[in-house]
Amino acid sequence: GAGVSQSPRYKVAKRGQDVALRCDPISGHVSLFWYQQALGQGPEFLTYFQNEAQLDKSGLPSDRFFAERPEGSVSTLKIQRTQQEDSAVYLCASSPNVPTGEQYFGPGTRLTVT
Amino acid sequence: AQRVTQPEKLLSVFKGAPVELKCNYSYSGSPELFWYVQYSRQRLQLLLRHISRESIKGFTADLNKGETSFHLKKPFAQEEDSAMYYCALRPRGGYSTLTFGKGTMLLVSP
């Protein structure tokens, strides 16, 4: 079946613009994670959803970052007033169960803020 | 807080040579350790986890709690092993968020 998909794959934003990044998890997966991967770094945790509930947002770097998963399926990561330091690959992962499920990663969205 | 350290950014070997990708971790509780791999133009995928004690594509990794290490090993490297490798940690229990190292690029030359 289809894996985790993310859109857009590439996004260029001017500093100060708002962006929205979409994640379609594997159907039926309960858990959904967002990670930020800066150049030359490993992925860093941003936030976690169990169904529609956002159980952990401790990794969001500022209040400009907001994530939602209103119906427990598709998730959107929104970044307001983008800054250059927001340039990174944003990865989404889903997992069928908690807490031992394997995470399946999407291809990522590469965000470049100019 | 937990931390994962991969001391080598790049490891370059010849085909057929042994490979060891180093991973050290810091965590006060009981961890689960993983190796993820990202081949060129592909997405991040799980290679192996310590609780499975299995060999995948000829790779093995043993959790050494005394040395807090989880090094990835393969006796004879193949060109198709060239990829980015990430070591990751997850606390046992709770939800499954991962803490990743910075990654090691493995290049296997013919």
d(C-alpha A65, C-alpha B65), whole Å: 37
For residue A82, what pLDDT is reported?
98
Tens of pLDDT along B40-81?
999 999 999 887 778 889 999 989 989 999 999 999 999 999
- Return the percent helix, strand and coil in chain A, to nearest 5: 5, 50, 50
With beta carbons less than 8 A apart as the criterion, state whether B94 and A58 touch: no
Provide the mean pLDDT of chain B: 92
Per cent of chain B over pLDDT 70 is 96
Query: Which amino acid is residue B96, in one-letter code?
Result: S
For residue B94, what pLDDT is reported?
62
- pLDDT higher than threshold 90 for residue B33: yes
Q: Do A95 and B96 touch (CB under 8 A)?
A: yes
Q: Do B98 and A106 touch (CB under 8 A)?
A: no
In sign, the C-alpha dihedral spanning A73, A56, A21, A96 is negative
Q: Do B98 and A56 touch (CB under 8 A)?
A: no
For residue B52, what pLDDT is reported?
79
For residue B96, what pLDDT is reported?
64
What are the average pLDDT values for consecutive 10-residue runs of chain A, which has 114 residues? 91 98 95 95 95 93 97 96 97 82 92 97
For residue B83, what pLDDT is reported?
97
Chain B residues whose beta carbon lies within 8 Å of the beta carbon of residue A102: 46, 49
